[in-house]
């Protein structure tokens, strides 16, 4: 119970930090712009294709870039070193930051899909797809920030990571037909997102999408925790 209370406090603090650094305002502003565009052009014949790209892109950027930017700002403002001299759990820090970003990413994506499609989509598949994408990119940000504290270097390293994790979109847009893209960590979450409003999955594919997403998040979190713990305690 005490651990849950500490985690709740840490989660609240993460939202305060994100707000103070204007990261929440930036997300809301971009989402509002996209939502207006989707609403004005909701009868566009390829709306679902465009929607998939932007809904995928928004939580992925929030997870990957905002995680790194927030940690870098905390280091520069001496907030992170202050955290580390307290009994704060590294697990609580990583989970609270990742969950905070995921909630923001989900709300932003939700605003866009409602503007484009109304409420004609599967909430469960959509939510878990967006959550999986944002969580995966946030954990990728944990890996990257463990090896650099310079924003420019972080941005440069983010480019190839973004490209690799976005490979499933190439098959979706029929630009490629590569079977091994199925093992990319974001494939399951991407399938769930697409199936929520465009292409329903078979029961077998649906089970695989959920299973692969959960497995990948578990593996990535374990690895991210290991490298981050070593980097902040060294």
pLDDT, one tens digit per residue, over 18-27 is 888 787 888 8
pLDDT for 30 equals 85
Percent of the chain with pLDDT over 90: 49
87 pLDDT higher than 70: no
pLDDT for 124 equals 94
Pick the range with the lowest mean pLDDT from 6-15, 123-132, 203-212: 6-15
Question: Quick check: 101 and 136 in contact, CB under 8 A?
Answer: no
Angle in degrees, CA 22, 82, 27, rounded to 5 = 15
pLDDT for 31 equals 85
234 pLDDT higher than 90: no
Task: Spell out where the chain has E strands.
Answer: none
Question: Quick check: 43 and 115 in contact, CB under 8 A?
Answer: no
pLDDT for 135 equals 94
pLDDT for 85 equals 60
Which helix or strand (DSSP H or E) is residue 56 part of?
helix 47-76
Give residue-wise pLDDT tens across range 133-175: 999 999 999 999 888 878 889 999 999 999 999 999 999 999 9
Considering the chain, what is the average pLDDT of its residues?
87
Q: Output the CA–CA distances (angstroms, integers) from residue 197 to 101, 112, 127, in the order listed.
A: 24, 13, 12
Tell me the pLDDT band of 90, cut-offs 50, 70 and 90: confident
Please give the residue that has the higher pLDDT: either 93 or 164: 164
pLDDT for 80 equals 64
Span 104-114, average pLDDT: 92
86 pLDDT higher than 70: no
2 pLDDT higher than 70: no
């Amino acid at each position: 119970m005490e651990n849950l209370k500490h985690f709740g406090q840490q989660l609240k603090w993460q939202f305060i930090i994100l707000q103070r650094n204007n990261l929440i305002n930036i997300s809301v502003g971009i989402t509002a712009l996209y939502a207006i565009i989707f609403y004005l052009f909701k009868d566009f014949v390829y709306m679902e294709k465009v929607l998939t790209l932007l809904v995928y892109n928004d939580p992925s950027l929030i997870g990957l870039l905002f995680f790194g930017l927030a940690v870098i700002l905390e280091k520069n403002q001496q907030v992170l070193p202050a955290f580390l001299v307290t009994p704060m759990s590294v697990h609580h820090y990583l989970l609270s930051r990742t969950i905070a970003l995921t909630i923001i990413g989900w709300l932003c994506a939700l605003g866009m899909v409602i503007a484009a499609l109304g409420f004609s989509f599967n909430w469960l598949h959509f939510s878990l797809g967006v959550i999986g994408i944002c969580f995966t990119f946030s954990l990728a940000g944990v890996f990257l920030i463990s090896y650099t504290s310079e924003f420019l270097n972080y941005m440069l390293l983010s480019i190839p990571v973004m490209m690799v994790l976005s490979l499933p979109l190439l098959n979706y847009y029929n630009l490629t037909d590569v079977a091994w893209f199925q093992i990319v960590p974001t494939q399951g979450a991407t399938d769930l997102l697409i199936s929520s409003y465009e292409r329903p999955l078979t029961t077998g594919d649906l089970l695989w999408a959920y299973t692969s997403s959960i497995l990948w998040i578990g593996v990535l979190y374990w690895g991210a925790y290991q490298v981050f713990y070593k980097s902040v305690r060294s």
